[in-house]
């Protein structure tokens, strides 16, 4: 089951659990997101035609990122635009999350290995605004 995490009519995240498995091409993201995420499952012998991607101008205002947890457990804490904690989710090995809007912070619960994919080029410290992570009023 795909989970969407939304607050105040904003899509904060899409979580694809490790056991998701549907045949074909399954896009989880709305067409207007600058990061698109899909799960693809085809039987042996299925052909995906060779192709190239055409240059298409795109404007990206906010960084969106995809995390794939390979090993361990991770708590993802979500924050609204006022930097207030709103909710959290735990991810385990094989789970995937697309972080679309709002703020987020992480707490490693078990030794973690994960892969991150996001738009580039990375703008260094000007790419983000850091703030003190609070969960249920507790500074972490």
Structure token pair of residue 1: 């089951």
Say what the pLDDT of residue 75 is: 97
Say what the pLDDT of residue 41 is: 97
Q: Tell me which architecture the domain covering 3-42+59-120+133-139 has in CATH.
A: Sandwich (2.60)
Please state the rounded mean pLDDT for residues 81-106: 95
Using 50, 70 and 90 to split pLDDT, how confident is the model at 134? low
Say what the pLDDT of residue 138 is: 66
Taking residue 36's Cβ as centre, other Cβ atoms within 10 Å add up to 13
Dist CA 3 CA 58 (whole Å): 27
Q: For 44-93, what is each residue's pLDDT tens digit? A: 999 999 999 999 998 888 889 999 999 999 999 999 999 999 999 999 99
Helix (H, G, I), strand (E, B) or coil at 124: helix
Dist CA 103 CA 20 (whole Å): 26
Structure token pair of residue 134: 């609070």
Q: Is residue 132 classed exposed, middle or buried when 0-12, 13-18 and 19+ CB atoms within 10 A define those classes?
A: exposed
Under 8 Å between Cβ of 106 and 74: yes
Domain coordinates of the chain in residue numbers? 3-42+59-120+133-139
What's this model's pTM, rounded to 2 decimal places?
Answer: 0.89
Under 8 Å between Cβ of 113 and 68: no
């Amino acid at each position: 089951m795909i989970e969407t995490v939304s607050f105040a009519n904003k899509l904060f995240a899409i979580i694809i659990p490790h056991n998701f498995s549907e045949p074909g091409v399954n896009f989880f993201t709305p067409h207007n997101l600058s990061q698109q995420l899909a799960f693809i499952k085809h039987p042996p012998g299925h052909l995906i035609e060779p192709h190239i991607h055409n240059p298409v101008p795109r404007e990206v205002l906010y960084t969106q990122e995809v995390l794939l947890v390979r090993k361990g457990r991770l708590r993802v804490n979500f924050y609204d635009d006022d930097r207030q904690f709103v909710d959290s989710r735990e991810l385990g090995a094989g789970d995937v999350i697309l972080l679309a809007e709002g703020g987020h912070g992480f707490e490693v619960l078990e030794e973690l290995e994960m892969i991150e994919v996001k738009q580039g080029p990375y703008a260094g410290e000007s790419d983000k605004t850091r703030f003190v992570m609070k969960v249920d009023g507790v500074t972490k």
